[in-house]
Structure 1
């Protein structure tokens, strides 16, 4: 089995099956499903599933947070589960009827930008590091190395309208190659040559819409503009292009549609784009940029404080997609963005909090979560930190937002500007270097602001952090340490899943069980053919033969209940499962029925090991000392 094959299958099953999936996309850490009915998804089971960080329902999307392996899991779902990442147009349109205007806008922006975000960031990182290398004279600015790096970094941004035309075509359901041709027309090299000549005349002189006219089409002026690296024109052009294409598809006879639909579409859409749609979209971009700058100019520090404080909340609900186009548009129109960039300190504040928790906690499970979360956060990927460490401890998540607010305010105070959309986390620093002057002050100030955000998050949490106390009773145990101190530790009591005679694990006639290779625990010689849940849990594995079941309790214990020895050879005969993989079950709930006598008659022992397979995560696994036990009586105590 491939590494993520089982996880992919489980996720699709728990979102309601592939028949419930309209479309699927992914970003840096999340699978983003659009479902026909989110009520069919088993959200609690998904949240509890090994390999899933959490689930977020926002912006009309059902978001399954995976972490750094999201790309591999996404590819596995497409490859093995029969799901098309593009989704179905008719069903997608039907689903949108119930979406709010905000949800539709977020859905549109995320659909267009998500597919290119990885390469967009990669190209930006190359551009940023090229500027850093030339600004520090490590690489000669006009040398061959700088030129080659410039080609690699600039190519994507220069032809960005073609890339956005592709993603917009998938969103608006236009022929992809026709759409890319429209995008290519926006950056066609001859346009720059035509614009370099003397203008024939000028339209809208003296206004912000002043436009020199260098050529005409059928006597109509063409307002040529520089669309390289632009964002809005390609998206708007494809939106209208899709409507034009559908019109021609309706009226042109089927026999000649194959070439006449694109023929007519391109003849109409490209001139219309260059004469009207493109210029209007560029003007709209300037107005959006002007509005953003106006908000920023009212109070840069307050703007930075607000965006910094709420950026992690925006990310959690997918609302940051509404700000990403503003940032890209500002860079395209003005050459830099001083507003949205104030989010930059948020990831550093988050990992400051995580480091404080890591250094103070005595909880080994939390430590094991915090280490990779901290490392990912250094590079700007904070979902593991948010969902695995701080958000479940709400006070500390709020304190990370305080650190992010301070960082955002400082970024605005220092007038740090984003010149290149590039890497996240520490890879983002070179993006603050002004490529026109090689001025590195922005990078240094960005480092200071992010360091302060990190320090604020760390210092707010380190003195006050305490591991969460558990309630007295079944979950608390008093122990005496070597120096005579009495302290409480967390424990979980697992009840007997079957009734019968208790058998030490060492006496089980199978070395894999008796040697404890699969985990510590106990075995039971069943007196009746029933298996019930030993705790509130999620069914993680249910063998098709019904002879074994894997569970993860709500408190994190991973269990294996194996009915008999070699009973897999019965191929399901004499076993009946009452649950399915992914189900949430309650303590004492019937899981499996089996025929004890028939299994014995077939020549198989029925001794049933009950194992804690993640024994290494616990201080101790203590089985009962009773000689016999009844279903639902205390069987095993696991001590954290």
Structure 2
């Protein structure tokens, strides 16, 4: 249980296991469905080691972890006791979702479980096509045929897989969903279209359909449902409702087999007669509309979608676009959307590389390396949330680079011909199934290179050193280095004075898990009665946040202090705080450092309880004062060097 403690902290700060309806994960995120998001401590989670950031989208509370999310997910299940349980039932009113959030939640729930194996199958097909294009394999060879079967089987029988995931989402019997999907791709039905039709429906329209068979005298429009998407989703939606209806009226003693029997007997014929044809036509129209809009201006479409794709990912809106791309592949055999979203990951890693080269902040450098590696393979969340988005301008530069690359994709009319892997593994997806390495393929390669180089150059030249966050990080590091290049390597005994007048309480009792757990350091907390912070030691100010709510001091004897005025007060953005010193200043014990308006801070809804901690506490034995009320300057902590 390498991640057991992290799992416990996450569960505690999403409101406890009793607040979890269910939890799933994707490539980098834990996706919680919470009963009450208001119980989650978002700010604590964002600052937690092992958590990149927190997002709220599509009715989900998303805790971004990184590439090791599967291991953290297992630990969360084990700690919460959910490993062998169905999703926790709702015991209160259902959360109200907007139409968009509801749609994104449905789509992500249906496609996410199968997306990994879908991408794997696409990669196999893509590499098989590459081997043919390079002349390494012949189509008649057994090697090609077996690889093609491995890659193509999932796509051909896709309705069966979606039948399982869609029925899971809609709350029905998963195997009923699979049975509906299997019926749609049943091989014998495809042979019934041979020969002359009995008659034709909708003659002279775009819906003209020859009728070869009937069901109880009702005409059945036979269509190919292999690789289809929309028909099975609609069929399972109605099947789940029909199943619930039969459950209510069927005696328990025969419910096990009568309910599936009755459900299949109703939904499968209805799907072939009504749902399937309508859904197929809708999918074809959607595909034509998408391609038509793209053809109006491929360059503009590529620039807009390429430039905005990373923004869509942040807000979870990409799940509204992915199904359109999959539908286009299944109905039209090609799709421009997959091509236009190919380059952003390379623009992102170009920006990350520039950050890595220019920053002096070691933690940022350490974050940049795994983020860069992940981005090569198309997993950009660590890069976005850990590096470029917090610095703001590098993220903007990467979006600009991705927009230029998207325009190149549009100019060369690059299309995706299968749903392959992410990042560099997506390259074979652009090989034309019959023409091989076309201009569109080379357009994708050029766009990839341009996105990477432009993302790097723009960030290196314009994306660093200007943004507020970048200046804050760099200034802190430069000041710390300048003032402490000959820093104390040996610590001595130290007496820490109280920085406030007020009430002393144990650190573990404050309402902030990060401080209360001791993860940030050891010490005590004070509820100040006066809005003045005095220096607890003689030393140097190594960090003063621009919001003036927190200060770091290194004492002459080596103790490293952090004083954080109030909880979550960073949100005040400096209001009600006045600093009398600057970062890098020499201060003496008892010197007035910061003044703050307690009443205004409380009126804004913030707790003024202040942690006073020693961050290098492992080098000391700490003895806190026994006093409950204390005056500034009196002994608060005794530090005995180990």
For residue 631 of structure 1, what is the aligned residue in structure 2?
636
3-state secondary structure, aligned to 2:33: strand
Pairwise CA distance, 1:183: 0.9
Match of 2:611 in 1: 589
Q: Tell me which of 399, 402, 410 is aligned to 2:400.
A: 402
2:617 matched to which residue of 1?
A: 610
Q: For the residues of structure 2 that align with 1:351 and 1:532, how far apart are their CA atoms? A: 41
**Deviations 1:474-499 (Å, cap 9, x if unpaired)?**
987476xxxxxxx578999xxxxxxx
Where does residue 285 of structure 2 map in the other structure?
A: 287
Q: Report deviation, 1:585.
A: 9.6
Distance 1:277 1:585, change over 3 A: same
What TM-score results when the alignment is normalised by the length of structure 1?
Answer: 0.77
Q: Give the Cα separation in 1 of the matches to 2:447 and 2:474.
A: 44
- Residues 312 and 52 of structure 1, relative CA distance in 2, 3 Å threshold: same
Measured after TM superposition, the shift of residue 361 of structure 1 is: 1.7
**Alpha-carbon distance, 1:339 to partner:** 3.2
User: Given the superposition, is the C-alpha separation of residues 521 and 86 from structure 1 closer, same or farther in structure 2, using an over 3 Å criterion?
Assistant: farther
Partner of 1:87: 87
Deviations 1:409-444 (A, max 9, x none): 111111000100111111000000111333443322
- In 2, Cα distance between equivalents of 1:17 and 1:536: 15
In the TM superposition, residue 320 of structure 1 has moved relative to its aligned partner by: 0.3
5 Å matches for 1:221-260?
A: 221-260=219-258
Identify the match of residue 514 of structure 2 among 510, 515, 539: 539
| Residues 1:371 and 2:393 are matched in the alignment | no
Give the structure 2 partner of residue 6 of structure 1. 5
The SS at the match of 2:11 is: helix
Which whole-Å CA distance do the structure 1 matches of 2:90 and 2:616 have between them?
51
Cα displacement string for residues 437-478 of structure 1 (whole angstroms, at most 9, x for unaligned residues): 334433221010111111211111212354533499998747
Match of 1:219 in 2: 217
The alpha-carbon deviation at position 554 of structure 1 amounts to: 11
In 1, the alpha carbon distance for the partners of 2:142 and 2:438 equals 23
| C-alpha distance 86-428 of structure 1, shift in aligned 2 (>3 A) | farther
Choose from 445, 464, 471 the match for 1:469.
471
Q: Is the Cα–Cα contact under 8 Å of residues 247 and 255 in structure 2 kept in the other structure?
A: yes
Contact 2:200 2:208 in 1 (8 A): yes
Match of 2:382 among 381, 384, 392: 384
How far 1:541 moved relative to its partner? 7.9
Distance of 2:524 and 2:339 partners within structure 1: 46
In 2, are the aligned partners of 1:24 and 1:86 still within 8 Å (CA)?
A: no
1:553-592 aligned within 5 A: 588-589=610-611
> 2:337 & 2:473 partners in 1: Cα distance?
46
CA drift at 1:15: 0.5
The count of corresponding residues between Structure 1 and Structure 2 is 545
Distance 1:609 1:431 in 2: 52
Aligned residue number for residue 268 of structure 1: 266
Q: Please tell me whether the aligned partners of residues 476 and 490 of structure 1 are also in contact (alpha carbons under 8 angstroms).
A: no
**Change in CA separation of 1:446 and 1:58 when aligned onto 2, cut-off 3 Å:** same
SS at match of 1:463: helix
Query: Gaps (5+ residues) in structure 2?
Result: 499-503, 526-542, 553-566, 568-605, 621-632
Hey, what's the Cα distance between the residues in 1 that align with 2:167 and 2:409?
37
Q: Give the whole-Å Cα distance in 2 for the aligned partners of 1:245 and 1:490.
A: 72
Q: Of the candidates 450, 453, 457, which is equivalent to residue 451 of structure 2?
A: 453
Q: TM-score, normalised by structure 2?
A: 0.77
Matches within 5 A, 1:98-497: 98-467=96-465, 468-470=470-472, 477=479, 487=482
Aligned residue number for residue 39 of structure 2: 40
Contact 2:496/2:637, CA 8 A, preserved across alignment? no
Shift in Å, 1:291: 1.5
CA 1:350–1:557: 2 relative to 1, 3 Å: farther
Q: 1:540 to 1:446 in 2, by over 3 A?
A: farther
What is the CA-CA distance between 1:205 and the residue it aligns to? 2.3
Distance 1:11 1:216, change over 3 A: same
Counterparts of 1:3 and 1:585 in 2: how far apart (Å)?
34
1:482-536 deviation per Cα after TM superposition (whole angstroms, max 9, x unaligned):
xxxxx578999xxxxxxxxxxx9xxxxxxxxxxx9xxx86666999997659x99
- Determine if contact 1:379/1:427 at 8 Å carries over to the other structure: yes
Whole-angstrom distance in 2 between the partners of 1:128 and 1:356: 32
Q: Which SS does the other structure have where 1:34 is aligned?
A: strand
Q: Pairwise mapping of residues 26-65 of structure 1 onto structure 2 (< 5 A)?
A: 26-65=25-64
> Structure 2 CA distance, aligned partners of 1:399 and 1:466?
10
Distance 1:73 1:447 in 2: 35
CA contact (8 A) 2:497 2:635 kept: no
Structure 1 residue 537: Cα displacement: 8.1
Q: 1:531 to 1:378 in 2, by over 3 A?
A: same
2:344 aligned counterpart, secondary structure: helix
User: How far apart in 1 are the matches of 2:116 and 2:7?
Assistant: 22
State the distance in 1 between where 2:63 and 2:317 align.
Answer: 16
Distance 1:320 1:181 in 2: 30
Q: What is the alpha-carbon root mean square deviation over aligned residues? A: 3.8
Distance 1:127 1:360 in 2: 40
Displacement, 1:313? 0.6
Alignment deviations for residues 559-586 of structure 1 (CA, whole Å, 9 cap, x no partner):
xxxxxxxxxxxxxxxxxxxx9xxxx998
Aligned equivalents of 1:358, 1:242: Cα separation in 2: 51
Partner of 2:71: 72
Distance 1:491 1:249 in 2: 76
For residue 300 of structure 1, report the CA deviation from its aligned partner. 1.1
* Change beyond 3 A, Cα 1:541–1:588: closer
Deviation at 1:590, TM superposition (A): 7.6
Query: Take 1:523 and 1:313, find their aligned partners in 2: how far apart are those partners?
Result: 51
* Distance in 2 between residues matched to 1:472 and 1:55, nearest whole Å: 24
Q: Structure 2 vs 1, CA of residues 22 and 531 (structure 1 numbering), >3 Å: closer, same or farther?
A: closer
1:312 to partner: Cα distance = 0.4
